[in-house]
């Protein structure tokens, strides 16, 4: 509870500080240093609690979810200190940019990705009542992520003063990320053996499969846009914004929603208030995000084409050219917001007036 209170203080304090004009000007690290210290304490304590809990376990075997969870919080604790408390104050110039690239990409790849994957590996076998398809394959994905992802940050700075050999290594590492992604997807498909009929009746499965589809797209899009030829077109454009949303919203937010839809009735002891609202949440999220992502990628290609050296177009002209895409993107954004409202209202009503879970229904949900 102390950690929860501290995290709430850090979150609200951080955003109010930004509104008040306090920022250290670091991408994905905008909170001022005095808020960063609180957040760092929470991450450190959470990591310690996770490790101590595992140390006291009775089961000798460590399931794959715990591998991802412990690694995710360990990496996040170290990475947060590097990106927020060390790099902005002790490094400058090219060194600062290189470390910032590592920090920025590691927030996604070494924190959100492992914790999100831990959710998938835990909830999918529990909901389908199938064992995970292959533990060896899951370990291959885990160590692939640990080996290749730390070297990918510099692909945000291709054609920069950062050494060319560093840029080449980051491109190679980005391509190798296909390995851990495909291991996760293969395991997910294998775990679904004989349970594909649940896709029509279980909202959790719908979100998990949707997240997997977006994960496959992320798998191809991320490595290919790290290539120099592709970077010349899409870098500094809306294409990158679309890719970032694809990973965070399209994959890991979908998996998080799946986990919440499963665990919330167990926590509250009540049945889900409305399956129809859950369905609206799913379709609004899918359609809204599809509109947003496609328009961002389209705008990025238009913008990248205009910014090519041969055209010598001013940046403001690209903004004017892609403004219609932003109007369409706003429609998708509002659909996504509406879907989230359906989700929050459904969870609130489930806790407040949902039918109590009794008897055999408890076993069915469990």
CATH architecture of the domain 196-366 equals Up-down Bundle (1.20)
pLDDT at position 99 is 92
Same fold, 1-194 and 196-366: yes
DSSP calls for 323-366: HHHHHHHHHHHHHHHHHHHHHHHHHHHHHHHPPBP-THHHHHH-
pLDDT confidence tier of residue 314, bands split at 50, 70 and 90: confident
CB 336 within 8 A of CB 293: no
pLDDT at position 309 is 64
Question: Rounded mean pLDDT of 11-36?
Answer: 92
pLDDT tens digits for range 225-254: 899 989 888 988 999 999 999 999 999 999
Report residue 210 CA to chain centroid gap: 14
pLDDT tens digits for range 86-129: 999 999 999 999 999 999 999 999 999 999 999 999 999 999 99
| Mean pLDDT over each residue of the chain, to the nearest integer | 92
Which tokens belong to 48?
Answer: 């310690």
Domain chopping of the chain, boundaries: 1-194, 196-366
pTM: 0.91
Write out the H or E segment, with its range, that includes residue 151.
Answer: none
CATH architecture of the domain 1-194 equals Up-down Bundle (1.20)
- The residues, any chain, with a CB within 8 Å of residue 8's CB and separated by 6 or more, are none
Q: Where are the alpha helices (DSSP H) in 81-163?
A: 87-90, 93-107, 113-128, 135-148
Using the predicted structure, report yes or no on whether residue 60 has a pLDDT greater than 80. yes
pLDDT at position 3 is 87
Report residue 298 CA to chain centroid gap: 22
Rg (CA), the chain: 22
pLDDT over 90, % of the chain: 78
Write out the H or E segment, with its range, that includes residue 44.
Answer: helix 33-55
pLDDT tens digits for range 129-156: 999 999 999 999 999 999 999 999 888 8
CB 352 within 8 A of CB 267: no
CB 234 within 8 A of CB 240: yes
pLDDT confidence tier of residue 360, bands split at 50, 70 and 90: very low
Question: Rounded mean pLDDT of 2-13?
Answer: 91
């Amino acid at each position: 509870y102390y950690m929860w209170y501290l995290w709430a203080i850090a979150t609200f304090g951080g955003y109010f500080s930004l509104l008040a004009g306090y920022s250290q000007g670091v991408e994905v690290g905008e909170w001022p240093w005095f808020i960063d210290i609180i957040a760092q304490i929470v991450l450190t304590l959470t990591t310690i609690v996770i490790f101590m809990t595992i140390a006291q376990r009775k089961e000798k075997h460590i399931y794959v979810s715990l591998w991802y969870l412990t690694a995710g919080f360990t990496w996040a604790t170290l990475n947060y200190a590097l990106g927020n408390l060390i790099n902005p104050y002790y490094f400058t110039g090219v060194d600062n940019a290189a470390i910032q690239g590592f920090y920025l990409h590691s927030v996604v790849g070494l924190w959100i990705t492992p914790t999100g994957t831990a959710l998938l590996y835990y909830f999918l076998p529990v909901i389908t009542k199938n064992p995970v398809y292959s533990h060896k394959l899951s370990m291959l994905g885990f160590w692939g992520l640990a080996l290749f992802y730390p070297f990918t940050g510099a692909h945000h700075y291709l054609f920069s003063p950062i050494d060319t050999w560093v840029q080449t290594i980051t491109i190679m590492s980005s391509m190798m990320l296909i390995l851990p992604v495909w291991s996760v997807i293969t395991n997910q498909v294998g775990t679904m053996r004989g349970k594909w009929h649940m896709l029509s009746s279980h909202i959790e499965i719908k979100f998990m499969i949707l997240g997997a589809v977006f994960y496959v797209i992320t798998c191809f899009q991320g490595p290919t846009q790290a290539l120099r030829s592709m970077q010349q077109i899409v870098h500094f454009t809306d294409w990158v914004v679309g890719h970032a949303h694809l990973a965070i919203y399209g994959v890991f937010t979908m998996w998080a929603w799946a986990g919440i839809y499963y665990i919330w009735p167990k926590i509250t002891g009540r049945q889900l208030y409305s399956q129809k609202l859950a369905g609206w949440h799913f379709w609004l999220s899918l359609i809204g995000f599809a509109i947003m992502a496609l328009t961002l990628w389209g705008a990025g290609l238009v913008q990248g084409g205009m910014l090519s050296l041969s055209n010598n177009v001013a940046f403001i002209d690209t903004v004017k050219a892609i403004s219609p895409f932003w109007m369409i993107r706003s429609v998708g954004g509002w659909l996504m917001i509406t879907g989230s409202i359906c989700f929050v209202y459904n969870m609130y009503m489930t806790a407040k007036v949902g039918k109590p879970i009794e008897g055999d229904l408890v076993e069915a949900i469990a």
